[in-house]
Structure 1
């Protein structure tokens, strides 16, 4: 899930340290931790490290942003020992670079959300650190009340809600199309909502071919119905295409030029920073696609992996960060969920956490991550960006042709 959401409130290219670098002091070698976070998220992670207490070794944090995968490229003594990987789907492709997780931590990687990604041939290669709920929609309740509408119970209700808002002179959606993963989140929720078996089949296939699945085209048609509606997107397609994740949140809660935004739990700090009224923050989750259907729940997250050869200090740090209370400082900051935990959050995030732990809830991991190159910036991201350009605000009549074009473009990606 690489994205500029990693730049959240600010960006930084500065190397930040917890403790002191052993390269400077000539003492015990530092444990180097590669992260994709910056800004508020990076500051929150440092608070987590500070909360671990006095360590027998220094910890050096290396912010790599969207280039986090380069952590696996270097073989020098400066290579990271621990990688906080925002794309768990990369784990199977880097098994030769990784050390197994210590036996006492291995059960954490075998939880229902993670085992298909982190366990290979019976060996666990990662530990979950941060969970992301990717089926959340943030909105302003006061605006809904003003127009006389409620959060949607079904997909069709959402389309009706958008039309009602538009007729009242309110722009329904803010869309961070500058971050392609936001577009894939939309499609993934729809596909999971209409065809969970197809979603899971694509996620686990050795040679996935979305273009060959009729349900993939059906999901595109449904998505096109929403995006093609006139005046549904704040700033239209042109502004949506250059709008990144934090800006889309600010559009709703800061500039107040849109009613709602599809945004994961980690949006919370930005939402609270820019909301004019802290009590005017609402959240609903992606609705079922039809009566009797289950609501889609798409999940992502960041996992800790150990690069080989590892050290006892690196294992110790992963063990400490895996402790049940280790993330408390970040949870207090907001925008952080721990798999299996339902306490300590804001009311909005508590709702999301409870859904992720609800017995019988069908949770499915981020499909674009599972698709590998097919789901990345040159794959599904680009296909959906072109799809948005073709349908955005232009009316339902353009959708069938745009769907055909998107399927054909996806087929080229698969064959490439």
Structure 2
């Protein structure tokens, strides 16, 4: 999944510098940090760097946006010393380009959510920096109260909530279909909720073939029931298809043309910026798909990796950024979670942090990031976008044919 998820508060295409550039002044060589962030997130990262105090070396922050993976193949400019990789699933594909993480930091990469991606043949190749909870649904409690509904405890209850809102003249969902990863997030939550074993098997397969799994069609049918409901999507399919992630959040809390939006914890700054009433902000997490089942929790995150060859200064900066209090400035601004930490957040993010750290539930990393080309813009993104076009606002009777078409398209993508 590309890092457009990180660019939701504005573009930043120029090189930003913390300290002085040694390449220009001929002084001590700078530590170059490649990031995918822009806007508020990029500013928050600079606040984190500023909070580290005086360093013995300059630090250059290189915002690469959706092109973050090019950090491993830089030729015209010096390769970054540290990459804040928003796709942990890429780590296994770049082992030959990465330095092992020193022993004093290796345990961070061996935590329960990370080891499968970051530890290979007993060696750790990444340090977790930021965790993303991708099963969060932000909503306006005032609308729910006016219509007389409660946050759903089951998938079936969510469908009923949507019907009640629609009958009351309120569009239930704002959907950022312009960012395909939002569609994959929705699908992954459903699939994880009904078939965790299939989800896990696909995530770890050397040659994943989703079209061979009947549970994929079952997940599409369930998702189709929600997306096909008339009056379910704010602005209908046409607006949803061109709506980016931040716009979908603003649709709920700024324009107030929808009641809720599936959006990760990193949406919090947008929610807070546009909410007309700061007390009219609620959050629930993706509900179980059946009574007695566990709730799905899809997780993503950014990890610090060290392209070869590394330097003592780069290692020093990673150690400083990995310190428990280093990210406090970003946590204070909102929209930031750390695996294993449950304090210091807003009430909404505290709930998400507790779910990530607590027992029970189904925790799995973002599937589309682990499927390679099958999960990218020309794979699962496109399949789900076409699926939405076929069913949106048209009623559940169109879902079976749309599922068949989606499975056919998926087989073609697999090759």
Q: Flag whether TM exceeds 0.5 (same fold).
A: yes
SS in 2 for 1:107: helix
> Is residue 400 from structure 1 mapped to residue 407 from structure 2 by the alignment?
no
Cα distance in 2 between the residues matched to 1:236 and 1:77: 45
Secondary structure, in 3 states, of the residue corresponding to 2:345?
coil
Check the 8 A contact 1:4/1:244 in 2, yes or no: no
Map of 1:43 onto structure 2: 43
Specify the alignment match of 2:328 in structure 1.
328
Specify the alignment match of 1:370 in structure 2: 370
1:2-401 to structure 2, matched below 5 A, reads 2-75=2-75, 78-401=78-401
Structure 1 unaligned residues grouped into runs of 5+: none
Contact 1:176 1:245 in 2 (8 A): yes
Shift of 1:362: 2.9
> Distance between the aligned counterparts of 2:348 and 2:298, measured in 1?
17
User: What is the RMSD of the two structures over their aligned residues, measured on CA atoms?
Assistant: 0.8
Normalising by structure 1, we get a TM-score of: 0.99
> How far is 1:12 from its partner?
1.5
Tell me, in whole angstroms, the C-alpha distance in 2 between the residues paired with 1:211 and 1:168. Answer: 39
Output one character per residue of 1:192-235: Cα deviation in whole Å (capped at 9) or x when no partner. 00011111011111111110000000000000000000010001
Q: Deviations over 1:143-186 (max 9, x none)?
A: 10011100001000000110000000000000000100000000
Deviation string 1:336-367 (CA, Å, 9 cap, x unpaired) is 00000000000000000000000234311111
Q: Kindly indicate whether the alpha-carbon contact (under 8 Å) linking 1:5 and 1:244 is maintained by their aligned counterparts in 2.
A: no
Distance 1:174 1:183 in 2: 12
Structure 2: distance between partners of 1:370 and 1:4: 17
Q: CA deviation at 1:28?
A: 0.4
After the TM superposition, which of the residue ranges 247-256 and 72-81 deviates more from structure 2?
72-81
Moved runs in structure 1, 4+ residues, more than 4 A?
none
Give the Cα separation in 2 of the matches to 1:223 and 1:173.
13
TM-score for the superposition, normalised by structure 2: 0.99
Alpha carbons 2:97, 2:307 under 8 Å: kept: yes
8 A contact 1:44–1:333 mirrored in 2: yes
SS in 1 for 2:101: coil
| Deviation (angstroms), 1:75 | 4.1
CA shift in 2, pair 1:73/1:245, >3 Å: same
Q: Is the partner of 1:363 in helix, strand or coil?
A: strand
Distance 2:310 2:76 in 1: 13
Deviations 1:89-137 (A, max 9, x none): 1111111111001111001001111111111111110000000000000
Contact persistence 1:23–1:29 (CA under 8 A): yes
Change (3 A) 1:361 1:163: closer
CA contact (8 A) 2:86 2:301 kept: yes
Any stretches of 5+ residues in structure 2 without a counterpart? none
Q: In structure 2, how many angstroms separate the alpha carbons of the residues matched to 1:336 and 1:361?
A: 21
Secondary structure (helix, strand or coil) at the match of 1:410 reads helix
Distance 1:217 1:200 in 2: 17
